């Protein structure tokens, strides 16, 4: 494999680590975004192993130099993934706003304590 592909893999696990120790909800959402971007970059690098010319055909003689073109399949899949990712982020941020309205904080520990308190009050 190409050793350049280790960059997105490394970033994916660094942001996974950040997701595990993140203190505020905002930073958790940013880590999710970073993980998603690194996955997309990894797929595109897999697709560009054999060549980095865009898969757009200019003339009929393109069949001769198929080997210089990037793989179009990961590109089509990643377009879909980008749109789905932004839907996920939009929903996350809307939920975060509801959280602000109700609890006035974005700190995981404070929120956890508040939720526990509420459970104790209910039971």
Q: Which residue has the tokens 């932004």?
A: 86
In sequence order, what are the beta bridge partners of 107? 24
Site of tokens 């970059």 = 41
59 vs 123 by CB, closer to other proteins? 59
Q: What's the length of the chain?
A: 123
Instruction: Tell me which residue of 86, 61, 55 sits closest to 73, measured CA to CA.
Output: 55
> CA dist 94 to 13, 98, 100, 101, Å?
26, 6, 10, 11
Smallest gap from Cβ 64 to other proteins, in A, equals 12
């Amino acid at each position: 494999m190409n050793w350049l592909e280790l960059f997105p893999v490394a970033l994916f696990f660094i942001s996974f680590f950040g997701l595990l120790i993140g203190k505020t909800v905002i930073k958790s959402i940013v880590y999710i975004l970073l993980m998603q971007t690194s996955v997309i970059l990894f797929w595109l690098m897999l697709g560009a192993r054999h060549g980095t010319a865009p898969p757009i055909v200019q003339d009929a003689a393109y069949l001769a130099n198929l080997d210089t073109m990037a793989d179009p399949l990961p590109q089509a899949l990643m377009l879909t993934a980008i749109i789905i990712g932004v839907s996920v982020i939009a929903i996350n941020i809307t939920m975060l706003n509801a959280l602000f309205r109700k609890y006035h904080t974005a700190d995981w520990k404070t929120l956890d304590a508040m939720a526990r308190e509420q459970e104790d009050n209910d039971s």
